[in-house]
Chain A
Amino acid sequence: MAAHLTYLNLALYASSFLCYTRMFYAPHPWVGRLATLLLGSGIVAHYFALLERSRWSHTVPYDDLYGSMSLFAWLLGLTYLGLELLHRQRSVGAFVTLLLVAWLGLLPYAVPASVPAPPPARGPLFAFHVTLNTWAYAAFALSFVLSAIYIAQDRLLRSRRAGTAFWSFPALEVLDRMSRSSVYVGLAALGMGVVMGLIWQHRLRGTYSWSDPKVIVTLAIIAAYAAYLRLSRSAAWRGSRAAVLCVCNFVVVLFSYTFVNLYLTRFHRFF
């Protein structure tokens, strides 16, 4: 059942990608609405796929690398859909859904979807901690995509080359606003996630482990994105420089999500 739902949500994301791409080259209101509807349906199907997998394995979705990465993709789609509705801007959809399709399509090859052993009960606080942190990473991934498009659009404007894609990209100010919104979501989720993690750890061990590399890198990420929000309103950084900073920040996020989790920390090594 979970496998069927996974195929279904992948098919819905792929269909949504095709509609967003069609929109990108030949804007049509109904195609745009269909793209959003398909993405929304994909997110719903993805939710049930994660739920079904959790029920089947008697554990939370993030308890293995496959589930964790699938949860990341779901939160990425959900965050994007929220931003799309908030900013009424669909032209980035093709890039985000492509990322979703590629991510979910390659996931079974990159990480075998083996059923994890039921873990010891860790409680809802821990579940919120992990889910909120994953959500933050998804929101930062989205701001990365938006900032990368900003840089490309800025280069095109400066080079005075107006190709097909040029007229379909959102305006620089819209990209900037969307990217900042995404970072706000990410920072809020990460902040709450960290606090919940610290409370959970204190209940478990009676101490806070500030020296854990994951905690250090996470605090660095918070500082880096807070700096982005601050600098992106300053005269010297506003615009493409801030977008470059946002892209660089995401490199730190990737480092934290992969290298730090897998090699540098013992307390945060789950897989």
Chain B
Amino acid sequence: MATTSNSERISAPRVQIAVIGCNHRTAPLELRERVAFSPQQALQAADALRHRGILEEAVILSTCNRSELYGVPGETGVDTGAAMEEFFTSFHGVSAADLNGRMYRWAGADAVRHLFKVAAGLDSMMLGEAEILGQVRTAYTQALDHGATGPVLNRAFQGAIEVGKRVRAETEVGARPMSVALAGVKLAERVFGNLRGHSALVVGAGEVAEQVVEHLRHRGIGSVQVVNRSYERGAELARRMGGEAVPWDNLEAVLDAPDVLVASVGGTGAVLTRAMLERSMAGRSGRPIFLIDLGVPRNVDPDASALYNLYLYNIDDLGEIVEQNRKAREAEIPRAEAIIDEQLSKFESWRAALEAGSIVDDLRDRFREHRESLIREKFAAMPDVSPAERERIAHITEELIERVLEQPTKQIRRGGAMRGRLGAVDALRHLFGLDEEKD
């Protein structure tokens, strides 16, 4: 049998991912605003990084809390991290001194781990927030459609999206509300279930009340009424919310309609007394009502919480629940980290398989296995074939394998840029199912 010569091995490409950037932990908002990328700028920057040979693949992730460049370094021998940072500062016209000590830089497995943590929401300002996964997906899809990605970033970002989904599905890192407004709405859902078809009344026009109504609208709440001392301001808020403004004098008249009541009147004390609410409950046929009192001082008489089927939460109650939820989310971090470790291990195995450069050997082994089993099977049915003839057939088939492998070997070598070579290697591994056995 022929042996494999070292000259036939494909030279192993180095598969590295690098990331540089800054986020809410390292840079203040004023600086993050200056280094943010619009979607168009992100694609322009990815093109520039690739055309200058700094990166072969590039994805730019820019949100209100972070600006990051992810890439696969080219084979220029330059310090990629430094080159990426230089590009970052020059692209935004920010001096290096402004960013000094505010940028982070990761490479290799650390960079991939960072990406996975970002997608999982572990690196977010609000632990486990859901929006970041959509932002990672959008940044990746835009770069993919633009042709800025290749096999390495494709694999890394697909892995990150998988991590993000699994962390949210299998842990409680993102399960509980972390803002006062959302906590109020989620609590209302504990009473009514689906909020579709229910109605809400907003008393006052505070900012948090508007956030609450946004969450309610997002969950399909039916009608929204707004009562405000200044009718004009109430009407403006109602218009923004797609609701209806009601004069302040009619407050008590509309109290028996809503299922969710949000009170946010500034500096006036109890606007809704127990007696008023008691009368409204009598007109509601016992239907429960959920009150969110966001006022300081409180807008709803605390004694009203004793009324049957009335659930009252003030700003402190909601704040306490948010704090409990924050602790509960933090307790889930180890489980999320375990998912990240698992996905990182898969990525590293894939990377190692590419770097090993053993694709031709793997293919040769696969073909030999098939050849040997075929020869055994056919020779068993041909007892008249002499040992010399058998040896000759074996030799011919071995030569056939070498000729078949000659072309892919040349193609991979000829790939030139690492991106092209990796693409070819990845395609071959996929085509012949070589990764399946290794996973």
Q: List the interface of chain A (C-beta within 8 A of B).
A: 25-29, 153, 157-158, 160, 162, 164, 166-167, 169-174, 234-241
Contact = CB atoms under 8 A, between A and B. Distances in A.
A102 B284 CA distance: 42
Nearest to A158: B311
Interface in B302-352: 305, 308-309, 311, 313, 317, 320-321, 324-325, 328
Contacts of A241: 308
A28 B170 contact: yes
Nearest to B190: A171
B192 interface: yes
B169 A239 contact: no
Nearest to A163: B324
Interface of B: 169-172, 175-176, 186-187, 189-193, 282, 284-288, 305, 308-309, 311, 313, 317, 320-321, 324-325, 328
Contact of A162 (B170, B285, B286, B321): B321
A158 B190 CA distance: 12
A52 B309 CA distance: 50
Given A173-B288, A237-B286, 13 more contacts: A153-B190, A160-B317, A160-B321, A167-B176, A171-B190, A171-B191, A171-B193, A172-B191, A172-B192, A235-B282, A235-B286, A236-B286, A238-B285
Given A173-B193, A238-B286, A157 B328 contact: no
Nearest to A177: B193
Contacts of A174: 193
B193 A239 contact: no
Nearest to A166: B190
A157 B193 contact: no
A235 B193 contact: no
A9 B328 CA distance: 36
Shortest 7 CB-CB contacts between residues of A and residues of B: A171-B193, A235-B286, A238-B286, A174-B193, A160-B317, A235-B285, A239-B309
Contacts of B287: 238
A173 B286 contact: no
A241 B328 CA distance: 32
B309 A157 contact: no
A134 B287 CA distance: 34
A206 to B, nearest CB: 48
Contacts of A169: 190
Nearest to B313: A160
A102 to B, nearest CB: 27
Nearest to B194: A171
12 contacts: A26-B171, A26-B172, A26-B175, A28-B170, A157-B187, A160-B321, A162-B321, A167-B176, A169-B190, A171-B191, A172-B191, A235-B286
Contact of B328 (A164, A236, A240): A164
B285 A157 contact: no
B237 to A, nearest CB: 28
Contacts of B324: 162
B288 A171 contact: no
Contacts of B187: 157, 162
B308 A239 contact: yes
Nearest to B305: A158
Nearest to B259: A173
Contacts of B186: 167
Given A28-B169, A160-B313, A167 B285 contact: no
B169 A234 contact: no
Contacts of A236: 286, 308
A237 to B, nearest CB: 7
A27 B176 CA distance: 12
A27 B169 CA distance: 7
Nearest to A89: B193
Contacts of A164: 328
Contacts of B192: 171-173
A150 to B, nearest CB: 11
Nearest to B283: A235
Contacts of B313: 160
A27 to B, nearest CB: 8
A158 to B, nearest CB: 7
A153 B311 CA distance: 12
A29 B170 CA distance: 10
